[in-house]
Amino acid sequence: METSRPPFEKYLFVCEHAREEGDFCGAPGVAVRETLKQAVKDAGLAGRVRVSRSGCLDVCAKGPNVLLYPDGVLYSHVTPSDIPTIVAALVHQLNGERS
């Protein structure tokens, strides 16, 4: 076994879990992830922030959900229109960490 530091400073895990009935993120989660991925690239954060799909984050009733790691921040009820706010917070946070 080998251990190392993660290659990215931040990770955004977007739930795309789908089931036949009940609450789930599914297709709306896919739309959030795709929009978020492009917004991260557009903000110049592609080498610092990784956007990945995830399975169930166990808060289905609040979906779509995005988990920011390692910060432990959970964004819930996320829509593509929320993405600029999330990315702006990341830019601010990452620029502040560089100072």
* Structure confidence by residue, pLDDT tens digits, 34-82: 999 999 999 999 999 999 999 888 888 898 999 999 999 999 999 999 9
Total number of domains in the chain: 1
CATH number of the domain residue 88 falls in: 3.40.30.10
Tell me, yes or no, whether 5 lies in a domain.
no
Token match 């931040």: residue? 10
Q: Name the residue range of residue 14's domain.
A: 10-50+58-98
Tell me, yes or no, whether 1 lies in a domain.
no
Q: How far apart are CA 17 and CA 85, in angstroms?
A: 23
Tell me, yes or no, whether 17 lies in a domain.
yes
Q: What percent of the chain has pLDDT over 90?
A: 70
Is residue 83 within 8 A of residue 46, CB to CB? The reply is no
What is the full DSSP assignment across 21-66?
A: SSS--HHHHHHHHHHHHHHHHHTT-TTTEEEEEES--S-GGG-S-E
Tell me the pTM. Answer: 0.88
